[in-house]
A and B are shown apart, each in its own frame.
Chain A
Amino acid sequence: MKIEKSLSKMEIKHLSWLAKIELTKKEEDLFSNQLNDILSYFQKIDEANVEDLPPTYHVIDISNVLRSDKSRPPNPEQALKNVPKLKGRYVKAPRIV
């Protein structure tokens, strides 16, 4: 895949919608520049000829790391440590529909 054109303002706005992050005008400019820098850097990778190479899906050449189906007592206290808001036992989150 060759990335010819840079990210437009519209695309930045769309990305922020997908990520559910509100951006100020200033931030839009800032991230637009930063992301375009990253993209142009990646264009260097596009120059490599990979025609006959199989795709790599994992950097480590191992497969079938599996565990047996044994359950262990859960650890809710530790798992809930970083939750910002609880209501009773429920995690309270903004409504997103």
Chain B
Amino acid sequence: MGNIKIGLEVHSQLTNLNSKLFCSCPTDYRGKEANSYICTVCMGIPGTLPVLNKKAVEDAILIALSLNSKISDKMYFFRKNYFYPDMPKNFQISQYDKAGGITLATGGYVSIPNKKVRIRRIQIEEDPARITYEGTIYKSKSSLVDYNRAGIALLEIVTEPDMESPKEARIFLQKLSSILEHLDVCHSYLEGSMRCDANISMEGGKRVEIKNISSFKEVERALNFEMTRQRNLLIKGISTKMETRHWDEIRRVTISLRIKEEEEEYRYFPEPDLVPTIITKEWVETIKDKMPELPDAHKERLIKKYELSPQNADVLVNYKLLGDFFEKCAEIYYKPGAISNWLVGDLLGYLHEKGIQLQEMKISPVHITKMLKMVDNGIISGKIAKTVLEEMIISGKMPEIIVKEKGLIRIHSDELIEQLTNKVFEENKEAVNDALEDEKAMHYLIGQVMKLTKGRADPELTNKVVRDKLIEHKKLLEKKN
């Protein structure tokens, strides 16, 4: 297998802003009526002027600092000219690192296991509009444009081609998104808030760019497809040509779709409507003072303070919301090991299975700690707790209510368990005889009793009752003989 080089161009919205990058339109456009979050500035009506959002610059600087990048002492905006309906002005206000242009930051890196992925540059730009097609993209005669997204502050983070497999690209993106989550500037769970272009080249072939990858999950998929496609071509002795391909999420293939404008054809030039932004050391320092705990330090703290396994700590850092949730639980009921196991294992597993986002689940830390206390006090079994947890996630009801409604309380009554054991012995005579010699048959009998109580019987008690009953049975047999 030849060497693979993968570089990424990540576009991340600054989702914590109240207003767009150059106008005062609000940013919570998701789920809103098409073209309702627009004004004359973001629609590029002649005579209007863009004014830069200060907080956007500060958030971008915070991100650049967290990625160990060098902040420029001044930056300019450039016009990137192209004719495509996603930009009503026929240009995008962006930044440029050539022709004397200076972007917000350069250099830096993100640490992933065994490697540092280098950052080439970070720039601020405006998000284009969202285009949908009537019917499919291939057959549609016209495009329908919703400009609500146009003008949202977007950060472009460009890496060096340092990743060597699609999996490594995914790991990088996970780390980057966790960093942004910790900074509280981009919440990647918001639909379309983080998107990505990827370029991939294999030894003996040219660089191919893949566009339109709408989520991080898709990146690994798209790269895997492209790797196989290029490898098959190389095997046949065909060298890949330099081109831009489009990722079709539904058919899961990349397609060569349009002739790409060469870079110089974007006719970049300094944006005359915006003045230079000077970034003083003092300004950067005040932003640096606000730097919160980042993933690596967070993980270390979780391991040290709560004695968590590195695996659990990793998951809680990757899913920062769950990490915060965990700490709130531990504050209420100090069983960090058990809590982290429940959250990382059953809770996250169930959310993934049902396709529920973390922020959509209806439970508070109190739900979890109450449930755990019920397990620890022997009111419900661990197995029942799992059912309770799932019900809590869906309905938001408190565990004691669910247990009461569904009659899930553990059965501690000797009398009832003995009754049920008698019934099981009656109905499984053969198994009873086997159980005198065979452990497996005994466990089968215990299982049958548990089944009759739908898992509510106290396992220890059931174990004891069944064993006692077997001894009794043995004695009876011996007497008969």
Residues of A within 8 A of B (CB): 18-20, 55, 57-60, 62-76, 78-80, 82, 87-97
Contact = CB atoms under 8 A, between A and B. Distances in A.
A59 B273 CA distance: 10
A29 B366 CA distance: 77
Interface stretch (B23-31, B61-69, B175-183): B23-31
B281 interface: no
A55 B74 CA distance: 14
B416 interface: no
Given A65-B51, A95-B142, A75 B147 contact: no
A82 B35 CA distance: 13
B110 to A, nearest CB: 27
B275 A74 contact: no
Given A67-B51, A74-B26, A93 B39 contact: no
B18 interface: yes
A15 to B, nearest CB: 9
Given A70-B19, A93-B145, 4 more contacts: A57-B76, A65-B51, A72-B26, A90-B144
A95 B278 contact: no
B33 A96 contact: no
Interface string B265-278: 10000101011111
Interface stretch (B52-60, B302-310, B335-343, B464-472): B52-60
B238 interface: no
Interface stretch (B133-141, B165-173, B195-203): B133-141
A5 B33 CA distance: 52
A78 B145 contact: no
18 contacts: A19-B83, A20-B83, A58-B270, A58-B276, A63-B275, A63-B276, A65-B52, A68-B55, A69-B54, A71-B18, A71-B19, A71-B26, A74-B39, A75-B40, A90-B145, A92-B144, A93-B143, A95-B140
B294 interface: no
B275 A60 contact: yes
Nearest to B261: A18
Nearest to B29: A74
Contact of B276 (A57, A74, A80, A93): A57
A60 B275 CA distance: 8
A96 B25 contact: no
A64 to B, nearest CB: 6
- Chain A interface mostly: loop
A8 B435 CA distance: 96
A59 B276 CA distance: 11
B275 A55 contact: no
Interface magnitude class on chain B: 35 or more
A95 B133 contact: yes
A96 B74 CA distance: 36
B236 interface: no
A55 B19 contact: no
Contacts of A71: 18-19, 24-27
Contacts of A68: 54-55
B79 to A, nearest CB: 12
Contacts of A69: 17-19, 53-56
Nearest to A88: B34
A95 B25 contact: no
B413 interface: no
A91 B147 contact: yes
Interface string B31-48: 001111111101101000
Contacts of B361: none
Contacts of B265: 18
A66 B53 contact: yes
Interface string B428-445: 000000000000000000
B261 A64 contact: no
A26 to B, nearest CB: 23
A52 B37 CA distance: 47
A64 B278 contact: yes
Contacts of B145: 90-93
B258 interface: yes
Contact of B36 (A89, A92, A96): A89
Given A75-B40, A89-B35, A91-B145, A96 B83 contact: yes
